[in-house]
Amino acid sequence: MRVLVFGGTLFVSQAVAAEAVARGHDVVCAARGKSGRVPDGATLVPVDRDAHDGLSALVGERFDAVVDTSIMSHRWTADALAALVSNAGHWTFVSSISVYSDHSVPGQGTDAPVHEPRPVHATLADRDDDPDLYGAVKVASENTVRDAMTNRAFVVRPGLVTGPGDHTDRFGYWPARFARGGQVVVPDAQQQMQYIDVRDLAEWIVTAAEQRLAGTFDGIGAPAPLSELLAGIAGAVGGSGADAEMVPIAPEVLTEAEVAPWGGPRSLPLWLPPGYEGMGAHDAEPALAAGLRPRPLADAVAGALAHERALGLDRERKSGLTPAEEAQLLAPRA
């Protein structure tokens, strides 16, 4: 099978390209080639999706499967389809659970309401001023893919993606923190959380291309109470992690101490703010029934921790608490 992966140099697209190569497929990665290397065995075709003729190197080429991970550009998605739709056998579009307009309801499926589509070209920086923009652009891109490919379109809406190559520092914060041992501040929050390892997501995407699977799915594993997930991560880390003492702190106390939920500096990753209880509790059954196979938590933790160690456990992180910030929270209050 000849597979075209847009990107192939970072995280999800790189994992997809690597998985397709491992299965013996002929893999072409279309990217600028400036963000990293494509996997060994894949062929890089330089493209610039911002240029007027940026996809000219691909025009006329035939591909059994195309995988597109366009983040916030409807134009990129539409241009790719215009150039390749007649010569593509199957099309995967990697979307996001951010397409949903209401994150407060647990148990939602792909039939839940989504944002009004916005067919615009944007950047991640634009999302800072408009939190709904990311999801709205993804909705517009999904619609364009379905309209063009009909029963050859596979739309995947991942939630929290973890594992080797993760650049958000969210899930990885916890294995890295438990590996240090001692007292660990955790949110005392009654919520659920779910994730998918990037390697499992990539395997499913390649399998879907091989089997010509079509439809729209939330690409996510089964939800679990956050407290159980964190305990499982600590146990999977072993050693100092298994001996770590979790210190639950109430959300209102964390908020008063200016600790942010979900991610970013001075945060407790995976802790969800009020009104977002459903964001970590989507219905995973349709994806599992369609072939998504999440690995055991211990394997996911091992992959995340190996990635954390490769980056450096003592580095300045994008998400989580620094040792000094955590010590401040643990200090006795007068």
Give the Cα separation of 14 and 198 in Å (integer).
10
pLDDT in tens, 237-296: 988 777 899 999 999 999 999 999 999 999 999 999 999 999 999 999 999 999 999 999
Q: Is the pLDDT of residue 307 over 80?
A: yes
pLDDT of residue 243: 84
Instruction: Give the span between the Cα atoms of 78 and 215, in whole angstroms.
Output: 19
For residue 149, pLDDT over 50 is answered with yes
pLDDT at 333 exceeding the cut of 70? no
> Exposure string (b/e) for 167-189, b if CB count within 10 Å is 16 or more?
ebbbbbbbbbbbbebeebbbbbb
**In terms of Cα–Cα distance, which of 199, 141, 137, 153 is closest to 12?**
199
Does the pLDDT of residue 76 top 50, yes or no?
Answer: yes
Query: In which order are the strands placed within the sheet that holds 153-156?
Result: 43-46, 26-31, 2-6, 65-68, 91-94, 153-156, 215-217
185 closest CA partner among 325, 312, 301, 12: 325
Residues in contact with 287: Cβ distance below 8 Å, sequence separation at least 6, in sequence order: 204, 217, 218, 219, 220
CA 260 to chain centre: 20
**Which of these, 50, 283, 270, lies nearest to 171 by C-alpha position?**
270
- Interval 150-196: pLDDT, tens: 999 999 999 999 999 999 999 999 999 999 999 999 999 999 999 99
Question: What average pLDDT score do residues 46-65 get?
Answer: 95
Q: Quick one: pLDDT band at residue 3, thresholds 50, 70, 90?
A: very high
Q: Give ∠ CA 40-158-207 in degrees, rounded to 5.
A: 50
Q: For 203-242, b where at least 16 C-beta lie within 10 A, e where not — what string?
A: bbbbbbbbeebbebbbbbbebbebbebbbbbbebbeeebe
Fold of 2-157: Rossmann fold (3.40.50)
Each domain of the chain, given as residue ranges in start order, spans 2-157, 173-193+224-281+295-330
Overall pTM surpassing 0.85 (yes/no)? yes
